[in-house]
Amino acid sequence: MLLFNITFNIETHIQQQWLKWMKANFVPAVMQTKLPYKSTILKLLTEIENAGSTYSFQFHFKKMEDFLSFELNHKEQILDRHNMLFRGKFVQFSTLLEEIE
């Protein structure tokens, strides 16, 4: 199992609007690709002094081929919509993790 994690730090004053948009648009757009089989949203509780709120959006993929298809065919387009709406109000980074049994 692979876990694709996108972590966002969003400005506090737009946090609720942003989170509502992410739940209504971003997560459904990723899941509609039918490549990840599960998604999770987490809020970081151990914030460092950074003037924002940090959220982790996790998408679970069964195999590398599914993730690569998502990355090559969907990821940029989905993130572009987010970036246009919230430009300058967030920072993000992504990680890909593999579950070790």
Burial class (CB in 10 A: 0-12, 13-18, 19+), 30: buried
Contact 2, 67 (CB under 8 A): yes
The residue to which tokens 């090559």 are assigned: 72
pLDDT tens for the chain, residues 1 to 101? 999 999 999 998 999 999 999 999 999 999 999 999 999 999 998 866 767 899 999 999 999 999 999 999 999 999 999 999 999 999 999 999 999 98
Q: Which fold has domain 2-95?
A: Alpha-Beta Plaits (3.30.70)
Cβ neighbours, 10 Å, residue 18: 21
Domain boundaries, the chain: 2-95
Q: Residue 72 is encoded by which pair of tokens?
A: 């090559």
Cα separation, 8 vs 28, whole angstroms: 17
pLDDT attached to residue 47 = 67
Phi, psi of 47 (to 5 degrees): -65, 140
Phi, psi of 46 (to 5 degrees): -100, 65
